[in-house]
Every structure is written in C-alpha cells, then in structure tokens.
Structure 1
Amino acid sequence: MAESTKTTSSFRPTLGLLDGTMIVAGSMIGSGIFIVSADITRNVGSAGWLIFVWLITGFMTITAAVSYGELSGMYPKAGGQYVYLKEAYNPLTGFLYGWSFFAVIQTGTIAAVAVAFSKFAGYFFPSLELTDANVVFMLGGFKVYWAQLVAIVLIVFLTYVNTRGLEGGKWIQRIFTMTKIVSLFGLIVFGFLLGAKHNVWQANWTNAWHMHKLNVNDIFATTSPVVGLAVVGAIAASMTGSIFSSDAWNNVTFIAGEMKNPKRNIGLSLFLGTLMITIIYVSANLMYVSVMPLNQIATAPQDRVAVAAANVIFGNAGTYVIAIMIMISTFGCDNGLILAGARVYHTMAGDGLFFRQAGVLNKNAVPGWALWAQCVVACVLCLSGRYGDLLDMIAFVAVAFYALTVLGIFVLRKKQPAMERPYKAFGYPVLPIVYIVLALVFCVALIIQKPTYATWGLAIVLAGIPLYYIAVARRKGGVEAIN
C-alpha cells in the first residue's frame, strides 16, 4: 500500500499528434544546421554537391521515417526501435541497439547538444568560451571548463523537469520547438530578402557539380579534385554532419505508450516532422549560398556558418541573433532527447535486460530512475571533450541500426504476414531497399574515410554481446531463485 503511493504501473497516454510532431521536429533541430555546412563545403567544394548532400540526407530520413510508420503501427508500445529489432530478429539484436543507445547514441547526442548550448551562451558570457583562461580545474592533461559544467547543469535541470511528469516536458517541447521553427523560417526569409546577392549566387552555382576538397588554410590557392570512387567517400564524410543534424527523428517511437491513438499518430508525426525539417534544412543551405561565397562558408570561424550569414544579413547584431536561436534550439532539442530516451531503458528493464530499477515508473508515471541513469552517462560524456569523435561514432552506429530496422520490415512481412498494419511502408519494396543500400554505402565509405571512429563505434556495439549474456544469466538466476 505504501509503495503504491510512490510508483505507478503504466504510462498515461496524454500526447497527441501535435506533441508527437513537435518531438520529431524538436529532437532533430539542435545545433547542426547552424554549423555542419562548413565541413560539408570543405569536403565537396561546390554549391550543387552541398545541396545534394542535404537532399540525399533528407530523402534517407523521410524514407526511414515512413518505413518506421509501419513498424510503429504494428508495435504501438514504449521502446520503439528496440522493440522493432527484437521482434524482427531476436532479443540479442534489440539489446545491442539498446546498449549502444545508452552508451553513445542518445547520451552522446544529449552531451553534444548541451555543450553546443554552452558554447553559444559564451557570446553573452565570455567565461563559457572553451579557452585555457576558462578552465575550472585540471588533473594532469584533463581539463574541465565552465562550459562543460553549464552543459551538465542543463542536462540535470531538464532531467529533473521530466521526472516531475510528462506535462512539463511536453510544454517545454511545444514552446521551444515552435519558437525555433519560426526563428529558422525567419532567418531563411530575411536571408533571401536582405542578404542575398545575385553575383554571389551566380558565382556559387558556376561549376556547381565540380567536386573538389577545399584547403581552409589556403583556400584560394589549394584545391584537391575529387574523382571516381573518392566522390562516394567525400559524400559519406560530408554526411556525418548532415545525418547528425537530421538524427533523433525516431525518438517519438520510444514514447508510444504515452501517445493517444499511437497506431495512427506515431506514423503521421514521423512523416510530418521529418518532411518539415528537411524542407527547412535545404532552404537554410540555399540561403547560405545566396548570402556568402563558398570560401566564406567553408572558412566560417569555428564552423559557425549561420553566425557568418547572420552578420551579412543583420550586421554585428547577427551574431547575437544566432546565439539566441541556437540556445533556444539546443535547449528544446535536449529536452526531447532526454524525455524520449529513458523509455527505451524502461522497456529493456521490463525484458530483464537492463537494471531492474529502470523498469519502475515513479508516482508521476515516468521512468525516473532511467532518466537519472541516462543523465549520469550524458554528464560523463560532457566531460570527455571529444565531441567530434562522438558525432562520427554516433553517425556510423545510428545509420547501421536504421538500415537493420528498415530491413526488419521485410523480415516481419514474412514472419507475421497476418499482423495488423495500419500503415504500410511507402514505396515498398523499392524505397526501403534504396534506403538500405544508401545506408550501407554510407557505413562502408565511413569505415574507409574515418576508420578510427567507425571502428570505435562498432566496438561499442560488440561490447554489448557479453553484457547481453550476463543479463540473461542474471535473469535466469532470478527466476530460479523465485521458483
């Protein structure tokens, strides 16, 4: 009786289609769209290929999202992708995803987005800049900066809000996602109206499909032509940034247990959210190439392309406009990531494959322990200082699991042909096959281009194999003890 006042046994379905769409869109828009186009431009060297990278990323994202719509309709329960992989293949495959999700995919993204919030807050508070003058303490070669501590405070605060119930997290997501969509749309419109220059646009689209790497140290004198199979590698290397910027759209599948009419609303929110963000991202990059020459995009200070563009559009005030936009964007993004991620660990715990406490809902009907466990790992990753490496590992691991999940549609149509499917994967079987092929090409090319990061990503996944069998043994031991 006393325990019943502290916990509850099931999720409360309180989220509608708008909330689902805001979680998809809000989790996708972080800091990436404001930054990663600089690195993409250095890799491909032309406006045509820059836009192509964002278009192909958008195509892959939307195709995967509408494919997930079929899976979400079949399994409208908390856990999302973990559940789909478990049902399509086996519990080990599901666990490897859940472990990778906990170790780097979700927690690493939360950490990277929180640090981005701190870095842009540095425009208003110079002590948050990542310089040696702003080191709080150091141990040997290990340094802790004020920006990292602020990132940790942000993660802890949003975790606390979400442990208080779904209502607070829901309203943060609504308000901040709508704000950043309107802000991004405004930046694009003002960019075309106030900052666009005909001569810049024309120059950028001259030889638009001549791919070449740009040397940022001597950009006018040194370029390296990219030909043959190297084109695929250059595109794959470029897409690590665009995929990170477009990732986390699947977060809505993790909270299916809290969605009203999940069989309808999850699939629809996946499509609406990814389509909207793809349009915004492509439009933003078209604005960039209308405002600045390619060399300025490639050499934007600290890769802050949006800041450079805003300075052209608004003058000196542009820096602060973008800083505020990114702080709003990353705040809302981290809220969505934190809210959704803990539901995966809750479902894994229910299967006996994660810490038992993660499977308990608190009195506010949310997985409080799982939220705090996620918070601890994300905070540790904030202190790692290796955010670029994390993003490369995240891209490789996330896309590999996306491909495996989309392949699961084919597996489940054979294993469960009579199961109800409120949605059918759009363009089946052609578009899902195209997605799988593109995803595999991306992963292989990334192994070739950035073998260290891809290998570490794969190692993290494989490290889950012994952990799975340990969890299974503990589960069996618990059952025998009860018997």
Structure 2
Amino acid sequence: MNDHALRAASAEAARRQASRPVFSNEPSAVLGLREAVMLIVGVVIGAGIFKAPSMVAGMTGSAPWMFGAWILGGVISLIGALCYAELTTAYPSAGGDYHFLKRAYGRSVSFLFGWARFSVITTGSIALLAFVFGDYLQQALPLYLGGRAIGPVVYAVTAILVLWWINSRGIKAGTSAQTWLTAAEVGGLLLIVAAALWLAGATSHQPAAPAAGAAAAPSLSSFGLAMVFVLLTYGGWNEAGYISAELKDKRRNMVRALVLSILVITALYLLVTWAYWRGLGLEGMAKSQALAADLMRVAFGTVGEKIIAVLVAVAAVTSINATMIVGARTNYAVGRDWPALGKLAFWDSERGTPANAMHVQNIAALLLVALGAWTGSGFRSMVEFTAPVFWLFFLLSGLALFVLRRREPATERPFKVPLYPLLPLLFVATCAYMLWSSLSYVYSQSLGGLNAAWIGVAVLAVGLLLLLALDRGAGRTAASPRP
C-alpha cells in the first residue's frame, strides 16, 4: 500500500473514530442555576404538602403556632442547606452524600449508605411516588378491567417507563422535563392559593371560627411531632449534592441554588397553608382527610376534586423525575469504588448520564412496583418504616462537616457555613431529633407480626453481608497471581 493510500486509510479511520460517541467516566459541568433550582424544588415538593398541613394544624392548635412551625421548618432547612453548600463546593462529586460519608468515615460506611439508598431510599421513593401518581390519576381517569381497578398499577408503571425513556436520552432531556414539570407543579399550588383568594372575595363563604382558647401554646411533644411532619415535607433539598459535579460555576451556583430553592419552597408552603386556613379554617384543616380536595370542592364543586387529583399526580411525577436523575448518581459513585460493581461506573459523556446505574435503578423500582401491587399497603409501610436509616445517614453527613474540617483543614472551601460551629450543631441536633422521633414511631408499629424496627435492621444487615462479600472478592482478586 503506497503512502497516499495509507494516509487516506488513516484519515478514514480518524473520521470514523471522531463520529463515534465519546464515553468517559467523568461527569461534566452542563447544568445551569435554573436547572438546579427546578430540580431541587421538584424533588422537595411532593404529595406531602397536600396532607401534612392537616396534621400540623391539629398538633399546633392555633394559626400563629401553625405558621410558626412552617417558618421554623424553612429556617432549619436553610441551615442544613448552608452546611451542604460547604460540603458540595469543597468536595463536588456525583456521589453527593455518599462521597462525603466516604471521605469522613471510609468506604464501608459509604457503601452501606449506597446500599440503603439503592434498596429502599431512592428506588422505594420512586415506586411509592409512582403509586401516588397512579392512585390520583385513577380518580381523574378511571381505568378498570373486569370490574377491577387496574389504573393505579398501570399508571405507576407507565410513569416510570416514560420518565426512564426521557432520562435515557440525556441529562438535558431530563432536566428540561423537570423544568416543565416543576413549573406545572408550582402553578398547581398557586391555583390552590387562587381558590382561597376567590373564596375570600365571596361574601357567602366564611371559614369556621377558631375555637375558644385555640391561641394557647401546644405542648412541647405536640409541637415536636408537628415539626416531624413539617421537616419531612421539606425533605429532599440535600439531593442537590448529587449534581454538584455537573453544575456550571459550582462555587457560586450551588450556594445560590440551595438558598433560592429553600426560599421558594418556604414561600410556597406558607402560601398554600394560608390558603387551606383561609378556605377551611383551622378546625376544618385539622379534621380534613384531603385538604386540597376539600378546598377545591368548596371553591369549584366536583370539578375541583378532579383538578386536585391531577395536581397531586403532577407533584408525584415531578418528584419521580428528580429522584430518578439524582438517585442513579449514587449507584455510579458506588461502581467507581468497588471493582465488582464496576459496570455501574459507566458514564455516557455524550448524554451526560450514568447509563448503567440508571437502568439498574429503574429496573429495581419497577420490581418494587410489582411487589407493591402484590402486597398492597404492606409495601408502603415497609418503605416508610426505613425512615430511621435515612435519618441515621443524614445525621452522619451533618457530622461529616466537623470531621472533614478537622481532618482536612488545608482543603479549599469556596463557601463556609456562617456562625460555625453553631449552625452546623443546630442542623446535627435536628437530624438527631428526627432520628429519635422516627425510631420511636417505628418501634410502636408492626408489620406481619414483627416489630417494624427490624425492617431497617434487615436492610443494613443485608448491606453488611454484601460488603463482606465484596471485600472477600477484592481480597481474592488482589491475592491471585497475575499471568
């Protein structure tokens, strides 16, 4: 072959190589501030805001204390967000909490977190939210087969499959869908506020008068329990850590995204709570089993019930999409640390997604949907009873801020928590209280004749067995002679 032919062949090979998708194991900065805010707001605002205000109203007993609880929840969330802003700007990683736990306590603790997140926290949340979506969409668009309601399962599976397809197309497709879904979700919440404003202008409607002595302060235990539900409704902002490696100008935008998201969420929660209170009264709120539906029924009749069913379905699918995006990144980080799980570490740089990790996560979520369809409410209880596991690792993430400041003082920290160590201590104390509260609740419950506390223990026990197996496998690989 002459030189000309060799050059032509080399040029053709180079052209073909350049036309192929480029894959790497490193995420790149492709997300802007708007995408980050929409993702955080979308993952936080779920079905809780349609239920929790009723319980908070009953436990606080007066409007000032009720609104005070929601404001306090926003303040505590903001303090926690500031702690995470330091961690995420100092240690940006697609692993989020997993990465912080690994640096602070070693990869065994971080693996247990990764396992709990994969087995229950993330995949369980996707499955539960899918059922919420299915249950409420069934109210708006009933689907039956042979007299049996099949809508909840069909809609749940469809939601996961459609969002899976969207996110498989790439991070841009996933975050674009998230932006539109979050906008629709916020619009739905503002519609609830608009209904209350319309009722306020209707002279024929007057909310129930407060009961005598309603302004008395609630007991410490009642207010504490109210805060449990408030903080659960605010939960999810920490998921911002999982996109820290993909955020443009992360040093400034991560802090902005977290603070702005918490402020937006707090404002929306206060507005919606005011709408419930103005439309139903405090006593009506406390007695309501479906706050938003009751308010919309008063404002718009039976049409209002259909509207709220769609709004809750939109809120659920918005949280599913956000959880799907951030959850897969934990599995990706685990795959990078454990050679036996190395296939999870495949990063499709053309699409900006941890492709294999996402597929495994969504397959597991579909299996949990199948389990939920088979066991019914028992599956939902099983996932809810693992709350202490979540709060345990959340507490450890908060403590990691102190550990890493002491162990790695030379690490550059573009953002530092103000009033250190006071604010981080408040955040850690809150996490410890939530851990204790969730443990107290779980110990008082049972599932299948067993104390519900064993469910969380079982999750961690299985994780320990997997950890031992992976350690042994790594030891055998290291000890085997190379050819």
| Equivalent residue in structure 2 for 1:441, among 424, 433, 438 | 433
| Equivalent residue in structure 2 for 1:375, among 337, 358, 362 | 362
Q: Percent identity?
A: 26
Structure 1 422/150 Cα, relative in aligned 2: closer, same or farther at 3 Å?
Answer: same
| Mapping for residues 37-436 of structure 1, pairs under 5 Å | 37-127=53-143, 133-134=147-148, 145-195=150-200, 200=207, 202-203=209-210, 206-209=213-216, 211=218, 231-232=220-221, 234-235=222-223, 237-300=225-288, 303-352=289-338, 355-362=341-348, 364-382=351-369, 383-384=371-372, 385-386=376-377, 388-390=380-382, 392-436=384-428
Aligned-pair distance for 1:23?
Answer: 0.7
Q: What is the root-mean-square deviation in Å for CA atoms of aligned residues?
A: 2.9
- Partner amino acid, structure 1, of 2:393: F
Separation of aligned partners in 1, 2:223 and 2:239: 26
- Partner amino acid, structure 2, of 1:148: V
Q: Look up the SS of the partner of 1:341 in the other structure.
A: helix
Separation of aligned partners in 1, 2:265 and 2:212: 24
Q: Is the 8 A contact 1:44 1:50 kept in 2?
A: yes
Structure 1 158/185 Cα, relative in aligned 2: closer, same or farther at 3 Å?
Answer: same
Of residues 465-474 and 202-211 in structure 1, the stretch that sits farther from structure 2 once superposed is 202-211
Structure 1 376/3 Cα, relative in aligned 2: closer, same or farther at 3 Å?
Answer: farther
Separation of aligned partners in 1, 2:336 and 2:440: 39
Separation of aligned partners in 2, 1:154 and 1:350: 29
Separation of aligned partners in 1, 2:411 and 2:60: 45
Structure 1 409/27 Cα, relative in aligned 2: closer, same or farther at 3 Å?
Answer: same
Separation of aligned partners in 2, 1:469 and 1:68: 31
Aligned-pair distance for 1:205?
Answer: 8.7
Structure 1 255/473 Cα, relative in aligned 2: closer, same or farther at 3 Å?
Answer: farther
Of residues 97-106 and 468-477 in structure 1, the stretch that sits farther from structure 2 once superposed is 468-477
Q: Is the 8 A contact 1:128 1:134 kept in 2?
A: yes
Separation of aligned partners in 2, 1:349 and 1:7: 20
CA displacement 1:144-176 (0-9 Å, x = unmatched): x43123212211221121111111101101111
Q: Look up the SS of the partner of 2:409 in the other structure.
A: coil
Separation of aligned partners in 2, 1:42 and 1:454: 27
Separation of aligned partners in 1, 2:334 and 2:98: 8
Separation of aligned partners in 1, 2:315 and 2:459: 29
Separation of aligned partners in 2, 1:152 and 1:325: 19
Q: Look up the SS of the partner of 1:200 in the other structure.
A: coil
What residue is the counterpart of 2:10 in the other structure? none
Separation of aligned partners in 2, 1:50 and 1:326: 23
Q: Look up the SS of the partner of 2:172 in the other structure.
A: helix
What residue is the counterpart of 1:138 in the other structure? none
Structure 1 49/254 Cα, relative in aligned 2: closer, same or farther at 3 Å?
Answer: same
Q: TM-score, normalised by structure 1?
A: 0.85
Q: Is the 8 A contact 1:248 1:337 kept in 2?
A: no
Structure 1 296/458 Cα, relative in aligned 2: closer, same or farther at 3 Å?
Answer: farther
Separation of aligned partners in 2, 1:392 and 1:41: 22
Separation of aligned partners in 1, 2:420 and 2:401: 9
Separation of aligned partners in 2, 1:459 and 1:238: 29
Q: Is the 8 A contact 1:51 1:282 kept in 2?
A: yes
Aligned-pair distance for 1:44?
Answer: 4.8
Aligned-pair distance for 1:439?
Answer: 2.0
Separation of aligned partners in 1, 2:382 and 2:71: 24
Separation of aligned partners in 2, 1:18 and 1:398: 28
The total of aligned residue pairs comes to 451
Structure 1 42/175 Cα, relative in aligned 2: closer, same or farther at 3 Å?
Answer: same
Separation of aligned partners in 2, 1:151 and 1:437: 37
Separation of aligned partners in 2, 1:390 and 1:235: 26
Separation of aligned partners in 1, 2:395 and 2:35: 26
Q: Is the 8 A contact 1:346 1:360 kept in 2?
A: yes
Q: Is the 8 A contact 1:201 1:290 kept in 2?
A: no
Separation of aligned partners in 2, 1:353 and 1:469: 14
Structure 1 354/305 Cα, relative in aligned 2: closer, same or farther at 3 Å?
Answer: farther
Separation of aligned partners in 1, 2:402 and 2:139: 49
Structure 1 291/103 Cα, relative in aligned 2: closer, same or farther at 3 Å?
Answer: same
Separation of aligned partners in 2, 1:194 and 1:482: 78
- Partner amino acid, structure 2, of 1:262: K
Q: Is the 8 A contact 2:82 2:259 kept in 1?
A: yes
Q: Is the 8 A contact 2:386 2:455 kept in 1?
A: no
Q: Is the 8 A contact 1:28 1:249 kept in 2?
A: yes
Q: Is the 8 A contact 1:399 1:443 kept in 2?
A: yes
Q: Look up the SS of the partner of 1:282 in the other structure.
A: helix
Q: Look up the SS of the partner of 1:99 in the other structure.
A: helix
- Partner amino acid, structure 2, of 1:470: A
- Partner amino acid, structure 2, of 1:203: P
Aligned-pair distance for 1:11?
Answer: 2.2
- Partner amino acid, structure 1, of 2:67: I
Q: Is the 8 A contact 1:358 1:369 kept in 2?
A: yes
Separation of aligned partners in 2, 1:116 and 1:171: 23
- Partner amino acid, structure 2, of 1:335: N
Separation of aligned partners in 2, 1:279 and 1:157: 31
Separation of aligned partners in 2, 1:119 and 1:11: 36
Aligned-pair distance for 1:261?
Answer: 2.0
Aligned-pair distance for 1:337?
Answer: 0.7
Q: Is the 8 A contact 1:161 1:168 kept in 2?
A: yes
**Consecutive unaligned residues in structure 1, runs of 5 or more:** 136-144, 212-226
Q: Look up the SS of the partner of 1:313 in the other structure.
A: helix
Structure 1 271/153 Cα, relative in aligned 2: closer, same or farther at 3 Å?
Answer: same
Q: Is the 8 A contact 1:67 1:426 kept in 2?
A: no
Q: Look up the SS of the partner of 2:182 in the other structure.
A: helix
Separation of aligned partners in 2, 1:186 and 1:209: 32
Q: Look up the SS of the partner of 2:159 in the other structure.
A: helix
Of residues 375-384 and 162-171 in structure 1, the stretch that sits farther from structure 2 once superposed is 375-384
CA displacement 1:248-289 (0-9 Å, x = unmatched): 212221122322122322232112112211221122112212
Separation of aligned partners in 2, 1:49 and 1:394: 29
Separation of aligned partners in 2, 1:199 and 1:320: 24
